[in-house]
Amino acid sequence: MIDPSPVERPIARILMVGGLISIGLVLAGLVLYAAEGQPQARELVRVVHNRETGRAVDVFTSLADVRRALGQRPPDPLAIAALGLVCLLATPVLGVVAAVAAFWRAGDRDYLAIAGVLLGMLLLSFVLAAAG
């Protein structure tokens, strides 16, 4: 088996750990949701709020919604699962950030440029999505 290079090792570690954390959060949220058994009063409040604003009833549409639901006591199990999905989406971005840093340290200008352009495109897409 080929030994991974110093550039590949941190990126692989970030992707593995990020994926495992994401899976753990999603599974924990779903198990907690299933353990609740029946909808609770806070779920009814969310349903009414989302209907009034014209959004889908059972989904979180922003990070603020997820943060608000996680701040409740006890936290909303679906928000825990949503946090897992957010982590899953953020993991490859962190991998690209690690690649930029690794290529910088290695002095590999070609791959640094490619990773830098990719990171710029990802950040631009987040900014454009946040702007609406």
Residue ranges in 37-108 assigned as alpha helix (H): 41-53, 63-71, 77-106
Examine the pLDDT at 55 and tell me if it is beyond 60: no
Residue predicted with more confidence, 72 or 103: 103
Per-residue tokens: 45: 């409040």
Specify the pTM: 0.75
Question: CA dihedral defined by 64, 68, 29, 43, rounded to 10 degrees?
Answer: -110
Domain positions in the chain are 8-131
For the segment 93-117, what is each residue's pLDDT rounded down to a tens digit? Answer: 999 999 999 999 988 899 999 999 9
